[in-house]
A and B are shown apart, each in its own frame.
Chain A
Amino acid sequence: MPLTDSLRDEILASVPNLRAFAISLSGNGDRADDLVQETLLRALANIDSFQPGSNLPAWLFTILRNLFRSDYRKRRREVEDSDGNYAKTLKSQPSQNAHLEFEEFRAALDKLPQDQREALILVGASGFSYEDAAKICGCAVGTIKSRVNRARSKLSALLYVEGTEDFGPDDTVRAVIGNR
């Protein structure tokens, strides 16, 4: 459909959620905003392919998710390097509990396999139904459910099974993370 004023406003209104999704996926604010910008440009350039009456946020999230995945493949090595730096950052943190807890959560989220992380965020934070999340990720509903469950299990194990003194990937965590 053509870009009407109301459609443009709806796209703009989706920006806060797109940013939250992008930051949750990438863990990097600057990169996330670049992803959002690219998403908006693609959406506007391809607005003719948007079906009136269909789910605009889901359409935009699909674009962002696909951009992130192609970007992610390119940057894989870089991302893995940053994992190591993350652990150093954690160790240097003073014991400000709320902040530390947030950092630990963020780090644990980053350790999830990509498929599981995106499924968990879409369902658990963005508020999409399993059905919409499945469409966004291009997979079956059952697959999304299983990814969300596995993501929750892994986060539990990473955050709550071990003590918090050493958050580094010890043997237990390695076993749980599995096939990174």
Chain B
Amino acid sequence: MFCNSGATVMKDSKPPLAKGGLNAEIQSRIGHQLRAMYDDVVRQGIPDRFAELIRKLDASEPGTPQVTPRGDLDVKNDGRD
């Protein structure tokens, strides 16, 4: 289904890209697929988990957002394991 673009199809040996650069149409398709995959996640916005995390850190130690080794912010256990 991808082979209708007039791109050179080679069955064996080297890929057809070594000389003459990449097929522009294929490259634009790859760019589009990559961004579609990425933007799909971006559009999901900020999950509550992270807004909550920042809020907790803010509330528990205003001004000094240190993550203490004692784990008293209880974020390490949040939803893990």
| A contact residues vs B (CB 8 Å cutoff) | 2-3, 8, 11-13, 15-17, 19-21, 23-24, 33-34, 36-37, 40-41, 44-45, 47, 97, 101-102, 105-106, 109, 120-121, 124-126, 152-153, 155-157, 159-161, 163-164, 171-172, 175-176
Distance A155 CA – B7 CA, assembled complex (angstroms): 14
In chain B, residues 1-43, which have Cβ atoms closer than 8 Å to a Cβ of chain A?
Answer: 1-3, 5, 7, 9-17, 22-23, 26-27, 29-31, 33-43
The contact of B50 among A15, A126, A159, A163, by CB within 8 Å, is A15
In chain B, residues 25-81, which have Cβ atoms closer than 8 Å to a Cβ of chain A?
Answer: 26-27, 29-31, 33-47, 49-51, 53-54, 57-58, 63, 65-67, 75, 78, 80
| B contact residues vs A (CB 8 Å cutoff) | 1-3, 5, 7, 9-17, 22-23, 26-27, 29-31, 33-47, 49-51, 53-54, 57-58, 63, 65-67, 75, 78, 80
- Establish whether residues A156 and B41, one from each chain, have CB atoms under 8 Å apart when the complex forms: no
Minimum CB–CB distance for A3 against chain B, Å: 5
A-B CB contact pairs (8 Å), 12 listed: A15-B47, A15-B50, A24-B38, A36-B50, A47-B65, A109-B37, A120-B34, A121-B38, A152-B30, A157-B17, A160-B5, A160-B23
The contact of B17 among A12, A13, A19, A156, by CB within 8 Å, is A156
- Establish whether residues B50 and A12, one from each chain, have CB atoms under 8 Å apart when the complex forms: yes
The contact of B37 among A24, A37, A161, by CB within 8 Å, is A24
Tally of A-B Cβ pairs under 8 angstroms: 123
The 9 A-B pairs with the shortest beta carbon distances in the complex, nearest first, are: A125-B38, A20-B41, A157-B15, A44-B65, A45-B67, A16-B42, A105-B33, A20-B38, A15-B46
- Establish whether residues B46 and A102, one from each chain, have CB atoms under 8 Å apart when the complex forms: no
- Establish whether residues A3 and B44, one from each chain, have CB atoms under 8 Å apart when the complex forms: no
The contact of A16 among B2, B29, B34, B46, by CB within 8 Å, is B46
Distance A21 CA – B42 CA, assembled complex (angstroms): 9
- Establish whether residues A156 and B26, one from each chain, have CB atoms under 8 Å apart when the complex forms: yes
Distance A33 CA – B49 CA, assembled complex (angstroms): 9
Distance A11 CA – B58 CA, assembled complex (angstroms): 13
Contact flag A153-B15 (CB < 8 Å), given A8-B58, A12-B51, A16-B45: yes
Residues from chain A with a CB closer than 8 A to the CB of B9 are 161
Contact flag A160-B26 (CB < 8 Å), given A120-B34, A171-B12: yes
